Amino acid sequence: MQVPPGASPVTRRLALAGAIVALDQATKSWAVAALADEPANLVGDAVRLRLVRNSGSAFSLFTGWTPILGILAIVLIVVLWRMGRQEADRATAIALAVVLGGALGNLSDRIFRAPGFLSGAVIDFVDVGPWPTFNVADSAITVGAVLLILRGLRRQT
């Protein structure tokens, strides 16, 4: 996704979030098609790709609360969008856009995947050692959150 020269900072942040959503959804579509029958080991059993449908939140907590998690995600997305539009610090605004892209990616699953609106399971497929299985959106949320924490710590010094 190419942003036109001279685009506003808000447009650039929205493009970043959109690129994360596009990458997330493309990799999830691939995972559903390629990993449905069996997992693929990349580095022995330590790193593998396996299809998991997560109806809960991070770490598969709150399984069965999918509609509530979807509504909370919508609220979070609105808050992230408003904060990102108003944020003057470029690094913080980029981190917010990265989290926004991840949140939109997982919300898309909850809205558009079976069994239906706000009931869909999030597609996870990266399985690394003892960590819960995750996806591109989860990675974006984590990276963005770490950047926000680091930026907040830097502002305090």
| Preceding peptide of 115 cis, ω within 30° | yes
Pull the structure tokens for residue 86: 């108003």
**What is the spatial distance between Cα 51 and Cα 48, in angstroms, rounded to a whole number?**
10
**What is the C-alpha separation between 44 and 2, in angstroms, rounded?**
38
Catalytic positions, please? 124, 138
- Cα distance between residue 14 and residue 156, in whole Å: 28
**Using CA atoms, how far apart are residues 114 and 109, in angstroms rounded to an integer?**
8
Q: Which of 7, 152, 19, 154 is nearest to 87 (CA)?
A: 152
Cβ contact 62:144 at 8 Å:
no
Give the separation between CA 64 and CA 7, rounded to whole angstroms: 42
